[in-house]
Amino acid sequence: MKITIQDIAPGEEEEIIVRCRNLDEALLRVIHEIKTRRGKFTVSDKDKIRQVDAGDVYYFEAVDNKVFLYLEQDVFEVRYKLYEIEAEYENTDFFRASKSVIINLAKVRQFAPEFGGRFEAQMMNGEKLIISRQYVPALKKRLGM
Protein backbone atom coordinates (compact mmCIF):
# COMPACT_ATOMS: atom_id res chain seq x y z
CA MET A 1 0.00 0.00 0.00
CA LYS A 2 1.30 3.40 -0.97
CA ILE A 3 0.43 6.53 1.03
CA THR A 4 0.96 9.98 -0.46
CA ILE A 5 0.58 13.20 1.52
CA GLN A 6 0.56 16.57 -0.24
CA ASP A 7 0.53 20.08 1.16
CA ILE A 8 -2.23 22.31 -0.14
CA ALA A 9 -2.46 26.05 -0.62
CA PRO A 10 -4.31 28.15 1.94
CA GLY A 11 -8.03 28.21 1.18
CA GLU A 12 -8.03 24.90 -0.68
CA GLU A 13 -10.33 22.19 0.63
CA GLU A 14 -8.69 19.13 2.18
CA GLU A 15 -9.36 15.96 0.23
CA ILE A 16 -8.75 12.26 0.72
CA ILE A 17 -8.78 10.00 -2.33
CA VAL A 18 -8.94 6.24 -1.83
CA ARG A 19 -7.86 4.08 -4.76
CA CYS A 20 -8.40 0.37 -4.24
CA ARG A 21 -9.44 -2.83 -5.97
CA ASN A 22 -11.90 -3.90 -3.28
CA LEU A 23 -13.56 -1.62 -0.77
CA ASP A 24 -13.59 -4.08 2.14
CA GLU A 25 -14.95 -3.71 5.68
CA ALA A 26 -11.56 -2.75 7.15
CA LEU A 27 -11.07 0.08 4.65
CA LEU A 28 -14.63 1.33 5.22
CA ARG A 29 -13.95 1.48 8.96
CA VAL A 30 -10.78 3.54 8.40
CA ILE A 31 -12.65 5.95 6.13
CA HIS A 32 -15.48 6.38 8.59
CA GLU A 33 -13.06 6.71 11.51
CA ILE A 34 -11.46 9.67 9.75
CA LYS A 35 -14.92 11.11 9.09
CA THR A 36 -15.93 10.70 12.74
CA ARG A 37 -12.77 12.30 14.09
CA ARG A 38 -13.20 15.26 11.74
CA GLY A 39 -16.97 15.51 12.18
CA LYS A 40 -18.46 18.25 14.31
CA PHE A 41 -21.88 19.10 15.67
CA THR A 42 -22.95 22.70 16.13
CA VAL A 43 -24.78 23.26 19.42
CA SER A 44 -26.19 26.23 21.29
CA ASP A 45 -24.58 26.81 24.66
CA LYS A 46 -26.70 29.48 26.39
CA ASP A 47 -26.04 32.60 24.31
CA LYS A 48 -23.09 31.10 22.43
CA ILE A 49 -22.72 28.68 19.57
CA ARG A 50 -20.01 26.06 19.79
CA GLN A 51 -18.83 23.01 17.93
CA VAL A 52 -18.50 19.58 19.49
CA ASP A 53 -16.25 16.90 18.02
CA ALA A 54 -18.20 13.76 17.06
CA GLY A 55 -15.61 11.63 18.87
CA ASP A 56 -16.47 13.36 22.18
CA VAL A 57 -20.16 12.41 22.00
CA TYR A 58 -21.30 9.65 24.36
CA TYR A 59 -24.77 9.25 22.87
CA PHE A 60 -27.75 10.90 21.22
CA GLU A 61 -31.29 10.63 22.54
CA ALA A 62 -34.62 11.65 21.02
CA VAL A 63 -37.16 13.01 23.53
CA ASP A 64 -40.43 14.75 22.59
CA ASN A 65 -39.39 15.36 18.96
CA LYS A 66 -36.07 16.88 20.02
CA VAL A 67 -32.63 15.27 19.77
CA PHE A 68 -30.07 15.75 22.52
CA LEU A 69 -26.32 15.19 22.34
CA TYR A 70 -24.71 13.91 25.54
CA LEU A 71 -21.08 14.53 26.39
CA GLU A 72 -19.26 13.31 29.50
CA GLN A 73 -21.07 15.88 31.67
CA ASP A 74 -22.96 18.25 29.34
CA VAL A 75 -26.15 17.92 27.31
CA PHE A 76 -27.05 19.98 24.24
CA GLU A 77 -29.94 20.00 21.82
CA VAL A 78 -29.00 19.42 18.17
CA ARG A 79 -30.97 20.16 15.04
CA TYR A 80 -30.67 16.71 13.51
CA LYS A 81 -32.97 13.71 13.45
CA LEU A 82 -31.62 10.38 14.71
CA TYR A 83 -31.94 8.82 11.27
CA GLU A 84 -29.77 11.62 9.82
CA ILE A 85 -27.06 11.02 12.42
CA GLU A 86 -27.28 7.27 11.87
CA ALA A 87 -26.89 7.67 8.10
CA GLU A 88 -24.04 10.19 8.35
CA TYR A 89 -22.06 8.08 10.81
CA GLU A 90 -22.81 4.65 9.36
CA ASN A 91 -19.90 2.17 9.79
CA THR A 92 -18.38 4.23 12.60
CA ASP A 93 -18.50 3.69 16.36
CA PHE A 94 -22.02 5.15 16.48
CA PHE A 95 -24.60 2.41 16.92
CA ARG A 96 -28.41 2.51 17.04
CA ALA A 97 -29.27 1.03 20.45
CA SER A 98 -33.04 1.65 20.40
CA LYS A 99 -35.64 3.68 18.54
CA SER A 100 -34.66 6.74 20.56
CA VAL A 101 -30.91 6.28 21.26
CA ILE A 102 -27.66 6.12 19.27
CA ILE A 103 -24.59 5.34 21.36
CA ASN A 104 -20.89 5.81 20.70
CA LEU A 105 -19.38 2.34 21.19
CA ALA A 106 -15.98 3.93 21.82
CA LYS A 107 -17.41 5.45 25.01
CA VAL A 108 -18.81 2.17 26.42
CA ARG A 109 -16.98 0.66 29.39
CA GLN A 110 -18.83 -2.66 29.38
CA PHE A 111 -21.96 -4.51 28.28
CA ALA A 112 -24.14 -6.77 30.42
CA PRO A 113 -27.10 -8.95 29.42
CA GLU A 114 -30.44 -7.86 30.87
CA PHE A 115 -33.84 -9.45 31.36
CA GLY A 116 -35.88 -10.01 28.20
CA GLY A 117 -32.96 -10.29 25.77
CA ARG A 118 -31.85 -6.69 26.19
CA PHE A 119 -28.31 -5.51 26.96
CA GLU A 120 -27.12 -2.74 29.23
CA ALA A 121 -24.26 -0.50 28.16
CA GLN A 122 -22.32 1.14 30.97
CA MET A 123 -20.72 4.27 29.60
CA MET A 124 -17.30 5.57 30.67
CA ASN A 125 -19.00 8.40 32.56
CA GLY A 126 -21.03 5.90 34.63
CA GLU A 127 -24.36 6.31 32.82
CA LYS A 128 -26.25 3.14 31.92
CA LEU A 129 -28.17 2.78 28.67
CA ILE A 130 -30.43 -0.04 27.51
CA ILE A 131 -29.93 -1.70 24.13
CA SER A 132 -33.29 -2.96 22.87
CA ARG A 133 -33.50 -6.65 22.08
CA GLN A 134 -34.15 -5.98 18.39
CA TYR A 135 -30.72 -4.27 18.16
CA VAL A 136 -28.80 -6.86 20.23
CA PRO A 137 -28.04 -9.17 17.25
CA ALA A 138 -26.46 -6.26 15.33
CA LEU A 139 -24.46 -5.32 18.44
CA LYS A 140 -23.19 -8.88 18.85
CA LYS A 141 -22.14 -8.90 15.21
CA ARG A 142 -20.32 -5.56 15.63
CA LEU A 143 -18.54 -6.91 18.70
CA GLY A 144 -17.61 -10.15 16.96
CA MET A 145 -19.71 -12.34 19.26
- One DSSP character per residue, 53-113 reads EGGG--EEEEETTEEEEE-SS-EEEES--HHHHHHHTTTSSEEEEETTEEEEGGGEEEEEE
For residue 102, which of 116, 113, 112, 88 has the smallest C-alpha distance? 88
CA contacts within 13 A on the Cβ side of 55: 8
Query: What pLDDT score was predicted for residue 11?
Result: 84
Amino acid letter for position 84: E
Query: What pLDDT score was predicted for residue 142?
Result: 85
Query: What pLDDT score was predicted for residue 145?
Result: 79
- Under 8 Å between Cβ of 95 and 142: yes
Residue 21 backbone dihedrals phi, psi, to 5 degrees? -80, -45
CA dihedral 15, 20, 25, 30 (to 10 degrees): -30
For residue 29, which of 142, 110, 141, 116 has the smallest C-alpha distance? 142
Query: What pLDDT score was predicted for residue 36?
Result: 60
DSSP 126: S
Low-confidence ranges of the chain (pLDDT < 70): 32-33, 35-38
Q: Is 36 exposed, middle or buried (0-12, 13-18, 19+ CB in 10 A)?
A: buried
pTM given for the model: 0.75
What class, spelled out in words, does domain 25-142 have in CATH? mainly beta
Query: What pLDDT score was predicted for residue 3?
Result: 77
Give me the residue spans of the domains in the chain: 25-142
Query: CA separation (Å) from 72 to 52, 91, 109?
Result: 12, 23, 13
